[in-house]
Structure 1
């Protein structure tokens, strides 16, 4: 054989059935003879023969790395405890012939070559990498668009409300404080206007657009007749002062003012809420803006997730290809 090649050696024992056979146990890289090496652990197989015997064979793989004629000594085999020997062998190892007159025909050891580039292997990875970069760019653009828009903040406003009777009584206190410096027409105009506004807020009818008689008729449906009588006198006096230039004394002015206060106190609503929660009104344009912002946030989340998955896949593919 040529230097470095492998050669097989077989040691066979023919035994009767029931007999035991023991071969020499060689270890890998153990020297069978000086210069001859056993490459791997021997393999033993058994075959039945036609004459009723068993053919037991030990298979050895040998090699040598120097050209020479090697002497393989006889191999010892024990059958039922009795030792037998095989024949000795010779192993001729040859070198590769080299033409020393023409050394240029032989080349030195080649360097490690790079794997050739195949577009089919890299096509999917390249396109997925480009897709991941485009998705990240779109995420940045969507984030900038989201950031540039002013968020819509919906706030509930709390409005302080003065009850109708309290507003009317405050106005009457102001009229009373200025009674000495205003003329009677102005006095009664302000007093009746205060009552008309109170009635609008309290009873829900348009008292500011009604005549005094219409107001009295409307009030008679729901209120105390005695109180209405006092209020009737107040409105009649006010009409005389405003339209007939009637003159009244201070006592009558005070009595009419007290009648107005009594009417307000007797018809006021108790436990009227002084605060009102005003819910914000959202325009259609604001609704569209809010929907767009929600859509942008979802789009950014989805694109980031897909782009990240693509980057992980591309990284894994690059690792596999390298």
Structure 2
């Protein structure tokens, strides 16, 4: 009887948290106990007033420790001034143990412009290992079968190897002779430091004039992608696959100054709202985006003699 009640509870397990301005996040799974590799249907619902701008997070390959097998498009409905966004995922886990589906983080702005986060509760999921039938005896591994090779096959393989070696040597000889005639000197370009590369990419983005052409979402997406990729190269964590909150948590480990962390959080959060909601920034806000990105990079770049030398070399290569 207890196992039946537990099964019914887990099948109907739904977690929900409500936040200011009636932004509600609901997450559920169809089963909290599955075998390794079994598909889990994970559903998310976000309800909020139509006047509240929100940022609906996106995922590429994983949701926390779970791999995404499939994800549907967002289904949007609106009734009596309230909007509901629904999205379904199929996720799986290939390790046995007890895990949690991480909270679904939805960011939104209140009437004063302050950023808040609405989170669903983490959902516990048990991943069962494959049971082994211990009643069966262990069988020895069968020996490999030996297949005799004929003289014709040996001659064919040898001819192929000799021909391949001859072609390779011919190509090598041709390239060397061409280098001698042209006096070619191969110059190894220095690796461009992450902050220099990011600044170059921001200049290229500015030259595209995306937001001036009406492509505002694409402009904000590229700007934040450049900054997130810079964080990956600079600090060594997968910023492109993390939510804004997860990025800030990682950056805190590197003991950045609080004002820098605050600037980064505000920059990424504002961009999320533009990319995933109906929030339309004004022209003056668009003009400040690249300046904010450059300031973030300048404030977090490494400061030492070797980095300065690399920066000079990289700028020379780029020019």
Q: Output the TM-score relative to the length of structure 1.
A: 0.36
Q: Output the TM-score relative to the length of structure 2.
A: 0.36
